[in-house]
Amino acid sequence: MTNSSWLPPEKPAELTERRIIAAILDGSFPVDTFIPAERELAEQLGVTRPTLREALQRLARDGWLEIRQGKPTRVRKYYEEGNLAVLAAIAQHQNHLPINFVPNLLYVRILMAPAYTRLAIQHDPKRISSFLQNCHSLKEDPVTFSAFDWQLHHTLTIASENSVFTLILNGFQNLYSEMGIFYFSHLDARDHSRTWYTGLLESIKKADPEMAAQLTEKIMKESLELWNKTNHRQAQ
């Protein structure tokens, strides 16, 4: 486990980049409008112009901004013009998540998880079986369940032998962990996931990747329903 005190301090350009992203997400810099001129923005943020330029270039690279020589810098329609770096950045700004972001993310998981689970059971069933050995002795604790569930998905993507799945999943690790703690604070959610873990072990015993994929699709769909119900109860 990495000690947070060992992590290098955030560079000025990285901090500036995060602050601009937050301003875009909270509507301070609306989509399809122009951000302040470089000198003015640098003064507002309290950074040097070279630091600001570095941050702006990175934001342009990822699809947040459009920089045109001699013209104002435009906030792009990042959901249409951005890339996976935009998606990962949004996930790190949990205070500014669009209302449907987590349900949409869970829907994408419905589409992806059956595929990487099928491939994992095909290519490396022993790895998955070994990981699941202790699934029935997990502590009744949302932090434990969230960490275990994340690591299972991560292990499945690695065993699938398709690294693109892993890279996509890694972009949401922090958000997944935080939302997972909230989700697994409910007993019905923990019991539901235990059903998946048990079913995966059974599919491995039967050497049936398709069974694993079908079960995973079912469980992921039901997880989305549980998430929506949990959020509805929380809002009341």
What's the rounded Cα separation, in Å, for the pair 208 and 200? 9
At the fourth CATH level, the homologous superfamily of domain 99-235 is GntR ligand-binding domain-like (1.20.120.530)
2-55 pLDDT, tens digit each: 454 555 667 899 999 999 999 999 999 999 999 999 999 999 999 999 999 999
| Residues near 21 by beta carbon (within 8 Å), at least 6 away in sequence | 59, 64, 89, 93
Q: Where in the chain is the domain with CATH 1.20.120.530?
A: 99-235
Say what the pTM is: 0.81
What's the rounded Cα separation, in Å, for the pair 55 and 178? 27
Q: Where in the chain is the domain with CATH 1.10.10.10?
A: 8-92
Angle, CA of 75, 103 and 18, to the nearest 5°: 35
Strand, helix or coil at 124? coil
51-65 pLDDT, tens digit each: 999 999 999 999 999
CATH 1.10.10.10, domain 8-92, yes or no: yes
69-97 pLDDT, tens digit each: 889 999 999 989 888 888 888 888 878 87
| Residues near 164 by beta carbon (within 8 Å), at least 6 away in sequence | none
Angle, CA of 45, 50 and 51, to the nearest 5°: 45
